[in-house]
């Protein structure tokens, strides 16, 4: 009797995981895409007058969310699993991709030199970035915890580590405290954990499309400092 009950529960669990995965895929394709129209001759000329800029992207709670093996399963099925060695111990992370992250990366890589900058350990950040990149050579430049500045019991990210000309670099990060040294170069984004309806990355595409034409990103982003305490 109990073996039958267990078999039914296992079948229900399997079916539910399939439904969740299918739902995530449906949500991904149903959302309206950003229309990247061809540039007019005037815009082409404008773009030739400015430097190609660098877009710095955080990982955790910005592009992905991950949780350790053994933690309570409060989430849908992960998009991928990574196995790394941390302090000589094998650790497994279940990683969930923020909705539309693949499309977002593909789009912004046409406009910017894309860089990953995470306060996480290199072994973890590398494994996550490799899976997000998926052989597309989008996330080739990467910076990790050792490139951060440790102060007041937390890590901060100095954008001069990546680009000496702050007029041409910006960062998207869910944690304002990590870019407190360069707020005029930051684009805040709400932290993401597991909301399949999230469209934050898509919402940033019009802003990023426009910023590539500016001479100094700080002339625009510096006007929005009040937004950094929102999330």
> Residues with catalytic annotation?
58, 60
What is the distance between the alpha carbons of residues 141 and 117, in angstroms, rounded to a whole number?
A: 9
User: Which DSSP category does 123 fall into?
Assistant: H
What is the distance between the alpha carbons of residues 2 and 116, in angstroms, rounded to a whole number?
A: 50
Burial 18-49 (b: 16+ CB within 10 A, else e): eeeeeebeeeeeeeeebeeeeeeeeeeeeeee
Work out the burial of residue 93: count CB atoms within 10 Å of its CB; fewer than 13 is exposed, 13-18 middle, 19 or more buried: buried
| Cα distance from N-terminal residue to C-terminal residue, the chain | 51
Other Cβ atoms within 10 Å of 57 Cβ, number? 26
Work out the burial of residue 175: count CB atoms within 10 Å of its CB; fewer than 13 is exposed, 13-18 middle, 19 or more buried: buried
What is the distance between the alpha carbons of residues 231 and 33, in angstroms, rounded to a whole number?
A: 25
């Amino acid at each position: 009797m109990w073996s039958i009950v267990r078999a039914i529960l296992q079948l229900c669990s399997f079916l539910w995981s399939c439904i969740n995965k299918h739902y995530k895929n449906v949500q991904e394709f149903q959302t309206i895409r950003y229309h990247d129209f061809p540039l007019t001759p005037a815009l082409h000329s404008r773009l030739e007058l400015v430097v190609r800029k660098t877009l710095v992207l955080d990982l955790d709670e910005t592009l992905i969310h991950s949780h350790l093996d053994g933690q309570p399963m409060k989430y849908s099925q992960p998009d991928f699993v990574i196995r790394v060695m941390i302090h000589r111990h094998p650790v497994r992370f279940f990683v969930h991709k923020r909705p539309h992250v693949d499309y977002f990366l593909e789009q912004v890589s046409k406009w910017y030199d894309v860089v990953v900058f995470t306060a996480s350990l290199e072994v973890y950040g590398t494994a996550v970035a490799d899976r997000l990149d998926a052989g597309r050579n989008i996330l080739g430049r990467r910076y990790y915890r050792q490139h951060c500045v440790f102060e007041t019991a937390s890590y901060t990210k100095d954008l001069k580590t990546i680009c000496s000309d702050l007029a041409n670099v910006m960062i998207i990060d869910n944690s304002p405290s990590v870019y407190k040294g360069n707020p005029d170069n930051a684009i805040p984004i709400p932290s993401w954990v597991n909301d399949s309806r999230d469209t934050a990355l898509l919402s940033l595409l019009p802003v990023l499309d426009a910023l590539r034409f500016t001479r100094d990103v700080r002339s625009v982003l510096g006007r929005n400092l009040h937004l950094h305490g929102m999330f």
